Protein backbone atom coordinates (compact mmCIF):
# COMPACT_ATOMS: atom_id res chain seq x y z
CA UNK A 1 0.00 0.00 0.00
CA UNK A 2 1.23 3.49 -0.87
CA UNK A 3 2.25 5.48 2.18
CA UNK A 4 -0.03 8.39 1.23
CA UNK A 5 -3.13 6.31 0.59
CA UNK A 6 -4.55 7.08 4.03
CA UNK A 7 -4.33 10.84 3.65
CA UNK A 8 -7.75 12.44 3.38
CA UNK A 9 -7.88 15.58 1.29
CA UNK A 10 -10.08 18.46 2.33
CA UNK A 11 -13.25 18.82 0.28
CA UNK A 12 -12.06 22.00 -1.44
CA UNK A 13 -9.09 20.15 -2.97
CA UNK A 14 -11.23 17.39 -4.46
CA UNK A 15 -12.36 17.99 -8.02
CA UNK A 16 -15.99 17.33 -8.81
CA UNK A 17 -16.07 16.53 -12.54
CA UNK A 18 -19.87 16.58 -12.69
CA UNK A 19 -20.13 20.15 -11.43
CA UNK A 20 -19.98 23.02 -13.89
CA UNK A 21 -18.33 26.31 -12.92
CA UNK A 22 -20.68 28.96 -11.68
CA UNK A 23 -21.49 31.61 -14.29
CA UNK A 24 -20.80 34.17 -11.55
CA UNK A 25 -17.14 33.18 -11.33
CA UNK A 26 -15.02 35.05 -13.83
CA UNK A 27 -11.88 33.24 -14.88
CA UNK A 28 -9.14 35.81 -15.21
CA UNK A 29 -5.54 35.48 -16.21
CA UNK A 30 -2.55 37.10 -14.59
CA UNK A 31 -0.07 38.63 -17.02
CA UNK A 32 3.44 40.00 -16.57
CA UNK A 33 3.60 43.48 -18.12
CA UNK A 34 6.12 46.29 -18.33
CA UNK A 35 5.68 49.02 -15.70
CA UNK A 36 8.57 51.33 -16.53
CA UNK A 37 11.60 51.45 -18.78
CA UNK A 38 14.91 53.24 -19.16
CA UNK A 39 15.55 52.82 -22.88
CA UNK A 40 19.02 53.40 -24.29
CA UNK A 41 20.74 54.52 -21.10
CA UNK A 42 24.53 54.13 -21.31
CA UNK A 43 26.59 52.13 -18.85
CA UNK A 44 28.83 54.53 -16.91
CA UNK A 45 30.74 51.94 -14.91
CA UNK A 46 31.14 48.36 -13.76
CA UNK A 47 32.26 47.24 -10.30
CA UNK A 48 33.04 43.53 -10.22
CA UNK A 49 33.94 43.64 -6.50
CA UNK A 50 30.60 45.08 -5.36
CA UNK A 51 27.95 42.77 -3.89
CA UNK A 52 25.71 42.82 -6.93
CA UNK A 53 22.89 44.85 -8.42
CA UNK A 54 22.72 47.90 -10.67
CA UNK A 55 23.24 51.42 -9.38
CA UNK A 56 20.99 54.02 -11.01
CA UNK A 57 20.30 57.74 -10.64
CA UNK A 58 17.22 58.11 -8.39
CA UNK A 59 15.88 60.88 -10.66
CA UNK A 60 15.73 58.46 -13.60
CA UNK A 61 14.22 55.69 -11.48
CA UNK A 62 11.52 57.88 -9.97
CA UNK A 63 10.51 59.19 -13.40
CA UNK A 64 10.12 55.60 -14.67
CA UNK A 65 8.55 54.20 -11.49
CA UNK A 66 11.50 51.96 -10.56
CA UNK A 67 11.96 51.40 -6.83
CA UNK A 68 15.13 50.61 -4.85
CA UNK A 69 15.60 46.84 -4.35
CA UNK A 70 13.12 46.15 -7.14
CA UNK A 71 14.14 43.46 -9.60
CA UNK A 72 14.65 44.65 -13.17
CA UNK A 73 15.51 43.04 -16.47
CA UNK A 74 18.51 44.48 -18.32
CA UNK A 75 19.06 43.98 -22.05
CA UNK A 76 22.39 45.05 -23.55
CA UNK A 77 21.81 46.50 -27.02
CA UNK A 78 25.50 46.12 -27.92
CA UNK A 79 26.12 42.49 -26.92
CA UNK A 80 22.63 41.02 -26.66
CA UNK A 81 23.25 39.95 -23.04
CA UNK A 82 20.12 39.70 -20.88
CA UNK A 83 20.29 39.70 -17.10
CA UNK A 84 18.08 40.20 -14.08
CA UNK A 85 19.19 42.02 -10.94
CA UNK A 86 17.92 44.48 -8.36
CA UNK A 87 18.22 48.26 -8.24
CA UNK A 88 20.08 50.39 -5.75
CA UNK A 89 19.95 54.15 -5.87
CA UNK A 90 23.18 56.05 -6.54
CA UNK A 91 23.85 59.74 -6.27
CA UNK A 92 20.93 61.92 -7.31
CA UNK A 93 21.61 63.84 -10.53
CA UNK A 94 24.69 61.74 -11.38
CA UNK A 95 23.08 60.06 -14.43
CA UNK A 96 24.86 56.88 -13.35
CA UNK A 97 24.24 53.36 -14.63
CA UNK A 98 26.75 51.08 -12.90
CA UNK A 99 26.57 47.31 -13.10
CA UNK A 100 27.87 45.59 -9.97
CA UNK A 101 29.07 42.11 -9.08
CA UNK A 102 28.56 39.38 -11.68
CA UNK A 103 26.43 41.75 -13.79
CA UNK A 104 29.59 43.83 -14.37
CA UNK A 105 30.86 41.10 -16.71
CA UNK A 106 27.89 41.54 -19.08
CA UNK A 107 28.43 45.18 -20.03
CA UNK A 108 31.20 47.64 -20.78
CA UNK A 109 31.30 51.37 -20.19
CA UNK A 110 29.40 53.08 -23.03
CA UNK A 111 27.14 50.11 -23.85
CA UNK A 112 23.49 51.03 -24.42
CA UNK A 113 21.10 49.06 -22.25
CA UNK A 114 17.37 48.81 -21.72
CA UNK A 115 16.25 48.47 -18.11
CA UNK A 116 12.64 47.48 -17.41
CA UNK A 117 10.64 46.69 -14.34
CA UNK A 118 7.43 44.71 -14.51
CA UNK A 119 4.31 43.83 -12.58
CA UNK A 120 1.91 40.93 -12.51
CA UNK A 121 -1.57 42.22 -13.13
CA UNK A 122 -4.99 40.79 -13.72
CA UNK A 123 -5.82 40.93 -17.42
CA UNK A 124 -8.74 43.24 -16.63
CA UNK A 125 -6.29 45.89 -15.33
CA UNK A 126 -4.35 46.17 -18.59
CA UNK A 127 -6.11 49.34 -19.72
CA UNK A 128 -5.56 51.10 -16.39
CA UNK A 129 -1.76 50.88 -16.13
CA UNK A 130 0.33 53.56 -17.78
CA UNK A 131 4.02 52.58 -17.99
CA UNK A 132 6.54 55.42 -18.08
CA UNK A 133 9.43 55.20 -20.55
CA UNK A 134 12.51 57.40 -20.65
CA UNK A 135 14.86 57.54 -23.64
CA UNK A 136 18.36 58.96 -23.30
CA UNK A 137 21.00 61.10 -25.01
CA UNK A 138 24.61 59.77 -25.08
CA UNK A 139 25.39 61.65 -21.82
CA UNK A 140 22.44 59.94 -20.05
CA UNK A 141 20.36 63.08 -19.95
CA UNK A 142 16.70 62.38 -20.63
CA UNK A 143 15.86 62.76 -24.32
CA UNK A 144 12.14 61.88 -24.25
CA UNK A 145 9.47 61.01 -21.74
CA UNK A 146 6.99 58.55 -23.17
CA UNK A 147 4.12 56.44 -21.96
CA UNK A 148 2.37 53.33 -23.16
CA UNK A 149 -1.39 53.31 -23.30
CA UNK A 150 -3.65 50.35 -23.95
CA UNK A 151 -7.27 51.00 -24.83
CA UNK A 152 -10.07 49.61 -26.96
CA UNK A 153 -11.12 50.54 -30.46
CA UNK A 154 -14.75 51.02 -31.53
CA UNK A 155 -15.06 47.24 -32.07
CA UNK A 156 -13.81 46.40 -28.58
CA UNK A 157 -10.38 45.16 -29.70
CA UNK A 158 -7.27 46.11 -27.75
CA UNK A 159 -5.23 49.01 -29.12
CA UNK A 160 -1.76 50.27 -28.22
CA UNK A 161 -0.41 53.81 -28.33
CA UNK A 162 2.88 55.46 -27.49
CA UNK A 163 2.20 58.79 -25.79
CA UNK A 164 4.79 61.60 -25.95
CA UNK A 165 5.01 63.79 -22.84
CA UNK A 166 7.75 66.17 -24.08
**Element spanning 63, H or E:** helix 58-64
pLDDT at residue 124 greater than cutoff 80? yes
**Percent helix, strand and coil across the chain, each to the nearest 5:** 10, 45, 45
Coil, strand, or helix at residue 139? coil
Question: Beta partners for 75?
Answer: 82, 114
Q: Phi first, then psi: what are they for 103, rounded to 5°?
A: -60, -25
Mean pLDDT of all residues in 150-160: 95
Residues designated as active site: 53, 86
State the chain's maximal CA–CA distance in angstroms: 71
More confident residue, 13 or 161: 161
Whole-structure pTM value: 0.82
pLDDT, tens digit, 9 for 90 and up, residues 85-106: 999 999 999 999 999 999 999 9
Domains, the chain, with CATH or none: 30-125 (2.40.40.20)
Q: Phi first, then psi: what are they for 47, rounded to 5°?
A: -125, 95
pLDDT, tens digit, 9 for 90 and up, residues 23-82: 545 567 899 999 999 999 999 999 999 887 999 999 999 999 999 999 999 999 999 999
Amino acid sequence: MHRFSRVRLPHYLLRDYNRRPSPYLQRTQVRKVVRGKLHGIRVTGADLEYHGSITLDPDHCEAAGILPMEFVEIWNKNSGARISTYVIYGERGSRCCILNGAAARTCQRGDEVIIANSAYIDESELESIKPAILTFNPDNSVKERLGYSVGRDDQGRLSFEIVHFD
